[in-house]
Amino acid sequence: MKYTKKERQKSLLETLTKNPFITDENLATTFSVSVQTIRLDRMELSIPELRERIKSVAAHNYEEEVKSLPIDEVIGEIIDIDLDNQAISLLDITSDHAFARNGIARGHHLFAQANSLAVAVINDELALTRKSIITFVKPVKVGDRVIAKAVVVSRDVEKNSTRIEVTSKVENETVFVGQFNMYRGTE
């Protein structure tokens, strides 16, 4: 469909309101225009670039403060958190995260994203990983956006223990699954 500039900008605004995490490249494909045209439209509409949109959404979602570690120590960017229930983070894979010869992300980055999210979701001053069982399901490559979701599955107050499952996906395909048995301090 061919849009006029005004129609495209209106639709762009609606699209970004519904999904603030969509990339300029995906928007360009959606509207059949160049990435540069999308960037110019965003500038005219005073819509920040993706990273700034993510930070803005994340700031809105932090009604509670993460206690177990500083936010800047979480690998990836937390975009949603409900302490002691669930949390979501995203990590854009760059060449710094990958093997130079094949562009596949090193596993420790996926593990670090999942593990730090499991720590962050704990509503306590102290949270440490006791045990983890991890499965790498599918390779992740440079340019992929990994969305990790941590869900608190159970909590044993007597043992100061919480079990968390983390599933990481790229474009809705599971790439990593982890079960984390976490030690937590007393609240």
pLDDT of res. 66: 65
Q: What is the pLDDT of residue 102?
A: 97
Task: Name the strands in the sheet holding 86-92, side by side, starting at the edge strand that comes first in the sequence.
Answer: 77-82, 86-92, 145-156, 161-170, 173-184, 127-136
Task: Catalogue all structural domains in the chain, each as residue range(s) with its CATH number.
Answer: 5-47 (1.10.10.10), 59-184 (3.10.129.10)
Q: Which pLDDT score is estimated for 94?
A: 95
Give this prediction's pTM: 0.68
Which segments in the chain show pLDDT lower than 70?
Answer: 51, 53-72, 186-187
- Phi and psi (nearest 5°) for 64? -115, 150
| Helices marked H in 19-158 | 24-31, 35-44, 50-61, 107-120
